[in-house]
Amino acid sequence: MFKVSRKSEYALIAVQHMARRARDGVTSVAELAQAENIPPDILAKVLQGLKRAGLLTAAKGAGGGYRLSRPVQEIQFLDVVRPFEEQLSVVTCQNDHGGCDRGGDCTLRDPMKVLNAFVLRQFSNLTMDMFLSPHKLVHHARADVTIAESALHRWSAEADVAG
């Protein structure tokens, strides 16, 4: 249930690559495809997707290519992946375009909503620089909060508000 699509992987690799060869930045599809061993055609679409998402800027013509539009520390994991994942929710009813054919009396709806919110929140703190430098250490190693506890906490908070 957690698996990212292949396109997402390509996207992550691409961002990784372009961040490393940060030199003065511009990288063509062909160049990247060969360097990272990715089918050029599909990589092209992936990069187009990233551009549409605002993560890359494109330069056409000879000598052109793509360039990261902002520093890698400011790019979230979810930003990179989102264009290639039809939905990021745990459950279809939690989606924007979000209908569920089943009747409205689903006992799973509420807990899943809480779970979904928590998961997304966790992931939203993942930035792409972590995929580059293992030594970029965070020393704030705090207590080992699990989804279980946090989810429960939030849920009960909501339940209190609701009555």
Partner DNA sequence: TGAACGCGGACCAATTCGGTCCTGATTCAA
Partner DNA sequence: TTGAATCAGGACCGAATTGGTCCGCGTTCA
Binding site for ligand SF4 (CB under 6 A): 9, 91-93, 100, 102, 106, 108-109, 112
Shortest Å distance, C-beta 63 to a copy of itself: 26
Residues 27 and 21 sit within 8 Å (Cβ to Cβ):
yes
Q: Cα–Cα distances in Å, from 13 out to 6, 124, 128?
A: 11, 19, 10
Stretch (H or E) spanning 8: helix 6-20
Q: Where are the beta strands (DSSP E) in 54-162?
A: 56-59, 65-68
22 counts as binding DNA under rule CB under 7 A: no
What is the nearest approach in angstroms of ligand SF4 to the Cβ of residue 93?
3
Rounded to whole angstroms, the Cα distance separating 128 from 125 reads 10
Is 74 or 110 the residue whose CB approaches a copy of itself more closely? 110
The residue (of 57 and 129) whose beta carbon lies closer to ligand SF4 is 129
Is 30 near DNA (CB under 7 A)?
yes
Q: Give the DSSP per-residue string, 54-79.
A: TSEEEE-STT-EEEESS-GGG-BHHH
- Side chain identity at 83, as an amino acid letter? P
118-147 residues near DNA, rule: CB under 7 A: none
CB closer to DNA out of 5 and 122: 5
Residue 109 interface partner, choices a copy of itself, DNA, ligand SF4, none, CB cut-off 5-8 Å depending on type:
ligand SF4
Site residues, DNA (CB under 7 A) = 5-7, 27-30, 39, 41-42, 44-45, 47-48, 51-52, 58-66, 84, 86, 101
